[in-house]
Structure 1
Amino acid sequence: MDVATELVDSMLTKFKSERKWTLQAIAQLSDEDIIWSPNADSNSIANLVAHIRGCVHSRIETIFYNIPDTRNRDDEFERGLAMSAEDAFSVTKKAFDIILEFLEHLRAKPELVMSQPFLNRPPLTYSQVNNETTTLNLMIAMIREIHYHTGQIIYAAKIRKGQLEWQYD
């Protein structure tokens, strides 16, 4: 197995785990839990879910699937963002499905791992990567970003519910 395939396999394992635990946490929450935030300056789970979906849209869908960029990042952090628990689950699942689908594509075409998909695109905004970044760097940044926010989601869920129930399979 080559290094690119090994890296992609590691990313697939990481994102599958993040997906599993985040969806399990969200599945235990009410609509009220989804929109709750600890204080006026903190994000709700709805904000975090919207932000994860926005990141996936702008960093994967627009670049690799040529879907027009419709993201409004400021809306993701709007205080009082309305979202049901069912919608939070669905949006989170969709975001992870897109990530996993893309990683499966990279697994089939490991030569793309070192490609520079942003070179001929407008300058990136709201991103810790620049237009010369590689797909590998982009996905490493996504691991950090998604893990950071899924941790916040799980922590907020624990604050709201106390002990969460986990399915270990």
Structure 2
Amino acid sequence: MNMGETYLNIIKKKFLEIKKLGDQTFQQLDDKQLHWSNHEESNSIAVIIKHVGGNMISRWSDFLSTDGEKPTRNRDLEFEASYLPKMELFQIWEQGWQIVFTALDELTEQDLLKKVKIRGENHLVMDAIERQVSHYSYHVGQIVYIGKLLKTSEWQSLSIPRGYSEQFNKQMFNKNN
């Protein structure tokens, strides 16, 4: 496997990890919790999902051939609070991720040093990809944090639960040695 293929495989794995954190959080929350926000200027998980989904569709549709900020996108509308049932939010989330993974599957090593535009600004494909890894990690972190706030003691940890680090490390060392 060459460097470009290795990079694309690593990126796909990172995106899958980011998606999984969001998926595991959604599973723990109900409709009311998905629409909770701390105050008027904070975003609910529902708003974040609409924003991330809109971003994914815009950035990754026709990734190599059109500007990543599509004229059909209404970014400001993504941040308006509106009630969407959990299933509809999940569909927005899944549609966005499907577009991301389809675009990534179509990329080749030669594409990584090509340029794409986002809001008229040139970016190397690798830079545009890294930009989205950072962006989605940021928002999924918000989703997880809000979920954890809402579930309190009922929260099911998405990583190593408190008090289990030593046990987990031993298992990992034993598995890998």
Do the aligned residues in 1 keep the contact of 2:54 with 2:75 (CA within 8 Å)? yes
Find out whether 1:165 has 2:164 as its counterpart. Answer: no
Contact 1:54 1:73 in 2 (8 A): yes
Please report the TM-score for the alignment, with normalisation by the length of structure 1.
0.82
Determine what percentage of the aligned residue pairs are the same residue.
25
- Residue identity matched to 1:136: M
Q: Following the alignment from structure 1 to structure 2, what is the Cα–Cα distance between the partners of residues 69 and 50?
A: 17
**Equivalenced residues, count:** 156
Is residue 34 from structure 1 mapped to residue 24 from structure 2 by the alignment? no
Please tell me whether residue 90 in structure 1 is matched to residue 91 in structure 2: yes
In structure 2, how many angstroms separate the alpha carbons of the residues matched to 1:92 and 1:160?
20
CA displacement 1:60-92 (0-9 Å, x = unmatched): 1154476964210001111x3222211222211
**Residues 12-161 of structure 1 correspond to what in structure 2 (within 5 A)?**
12-64=12-64, 69-78=71-80, 80-106=81-107, 109-118=108-117, 124=119, 131-161=121-151
> Which structure shows the higher strand fraction?
2
Q: Is the 8 A contact 2:112 2:126 kept in 1?
A: yes
Q: Give RMSD over aligned pairs.
A: 2.2
Q: Counterpart of 1:75 in structure 2: which amino acid?
A: L
Q: Which moved more, 1:109-118 or 1:9-18?
A: 109-118
Separation in 2, partners of 1:159, 1:71: 31
Structure 2 gap segments, 5+ residues each: 160-177
5+ residue gaps in structure 1?
125-129
Q: Per the alignment, do residues 33 and 116 of structure 1 end up closer, same or farther by CA in structure 2, a change over 3 Å counting?
A: same
Report 1 or 2 for greater relative contact order, CA contacts < 8 Å, sequence distance ≥ 6.
Answer: 1
Pair member with larger Rg: 2
